[in-house]
Amino acid sequence: MSNTTKSKVALAFSGGLDTTVCVPLLKEEYGYDEVVGVTVDVGQPAEEFDEADETAEALGVDTFVVDAKAEFADLCFDAVRANADYQGYPLGTALARPVIAQAILDVAIEEGCDAVAHGCTGKGNDQLRFEAVWRGSDLEVIAPIRELGLTRDWEVEYAAEHDLPVDGGNGGDWSIDTNLWSRSVEGDALEDPNYVPPEDIYEWTATPGDAETELVELTFEEGYPVALNGEEMDPVELTETLNDLAGKHGVGRTDMMEDRMLGLKVRENYEHPAATALLTAHEALEGLVLTAEERQFKQQVDAQWSQKAYEGLVMAPLVDALEGFIATTQERVTGTVTLKFEGGQCRPVGRDSEFATYSESAASFDTETVDGIAQEDATGVAKYHGFQTRLANKAKEATKQTTEALPDGGSEQ
């Protein structure tokens, strides 16, 4: 660090225990003269911004709030085109972190900071996702919680001793992360895989079965969701509206054991009603318009895209290459899908597209000849189908009979 200029660090700031403790530590332990807090809006509740603002004011920290909801929603809709999930749940936090990290880095550079810092521990994924973005710059990267080996109990005690404006955490039993696309709940009793979570951990999803069955129609253009029940909406509005609509039916809950990047297995609970509905509808529309070969190969492409997104590496060259294939397939993924919300479930019950790779007359049991193809034309195919299997089984049976005919059941002396 230069001795002639005042050093400054930009901190990913939420106003919670971890980032609040980081403020004095960055000064005491790392020697920075000024800490700038950066809060990035990717769809968190308003009260979280109020908390961050109040905490920053009490700490005497200047803060910047960056609205990145639109950028984040665009990335989420890219994820829809890639049918993105990780071990069965729609990606949410993983998609948000690179957006947040880039916004913080932009502020840090604009404000002439020497470093960027986060309050992540050394056990989670977010440290890797933030730093994958930051380490592409010339700024120093600091992780006080990880580097100093701090525990939550130590942080609570430190905050009390230094009269820091925190009440020991998020004000509840759970560690919660919320954005436009998903809400994650973990920690405390939920760390026991056998603990049955109470209904009050959920905020976005009602108890399944409490609402009457409902049909909704989603419209897609080239794989992107563009309208709900015929009303065009931008990605943010569509996601927020569908979160409320699907959430009333209890759609979009996941309780799982997740394998993190560092190898740890953790209990996670997620809510993602809009994401569940959009991914379900998109995959149903692909089933109508894509060929069997395209669908089969795209599963591999989607899996690779999802893995890189989980790692926070949506900027990787591989992702660019994968999206080239995805974009080509999505040229025909235009149409509508009708979903049924019922008892916490979301399932497609209708699909329509001008690009359908489907012939109703060819598939119907009530037609005889279509495009010059008749039922009896399948006879030759049926004769060849399984031909090698039948040959192999005959050869195996013949070998078995020969062996059994030998003395001592086939044992040669």
pLDDT in tens, 121-147: 999 999 999 999 999 999 999 999 999
Q: Is the pLDDT of residue 2 over 50?
A: no
Residue 1 confidence class, pLDDT cut points 50, 70, 90 = very low
Q: Residue 140 carries which side chain, given as an amino acid letter?
A: E
Q: Give the SS3 label for residue 49.
A: helix
Q: Report the pLDDT averaged over residues 250-272.
A: 95
Closest CA to 75 of 54, 60, 92: 92
pLDDT of residue 201: 95
Q: Which of 7, 18, 177, 182 is catalytic?
A: 18
Q: Report the pLDDT averaged over residues 31-57.
A: 94
Any residues with CB less than 8 A from the CB of 259 and at least 6 apart, and which? Answer: 87, 265
Q: Give the SS3 label for residue 335.
A: strand
Q: Is the pLDDT of residue 395 over 60?
A: yes
Q: Is the pLDDT of residue 4 over 80?
A: no
Rounded Cα–Cα distance for residues 204 and 245 (Å): 10
pLDDT of residue 166: 76
- To the query of whether residue 175 is one of the catalytic residues in this protein, the response is yes
Which residue segments constitute the domains of the chain, with CATH numbers given?
8-175 (3.40.50.620), 178-361 (3.90.1260.10), 363-400 (no CATH)
Burial 321-360 (b: 16+ CB within 10 A, else e): ebbebbeebbebbbbbbbbbbbebbbebeebebeeeeeee
- To the query of whether residue 377 is one of the catalytic residues in this protein, the response is no
Residue 13 marked in a binding site: yes
pTM: 0.90
Q: Report the pLDDT averaged over residues 379-389.
A: 94
pLDDT of residue 174: 79
Residue 161 confidence class, pLDDT cut points 50, 70, 90 = very high
User: Do β-strands 231-232 and 253-259 pair in parallel, antiparallel, or remain unpaired?
Assistant: unpaired
Q: Which of 85, 114, 126, 302 is catalytic?
A: 126
pLDDT of residue 410: 59
Q: Which of 7, 41, 81, 97 is catalytic?
A: 97
Rounded Cα–Cα distance for residues 48 and 170 (Å): 10
Helical (H) or strand (E) element with 96: helix 93-110
- To the query of whether residue 253 is one of the catalytic residues in this protein, the response is no
Q: Is the pLDDT of residue 356 over 50?
A: yes
Q: Give the SS3 label for residue 259.
A: strand
Rounded Cα–Cα distance for residues 323 and 346 (Å): 27
- To the query of whether residue 302 is one of the catalytic residues in this protein, the response is no
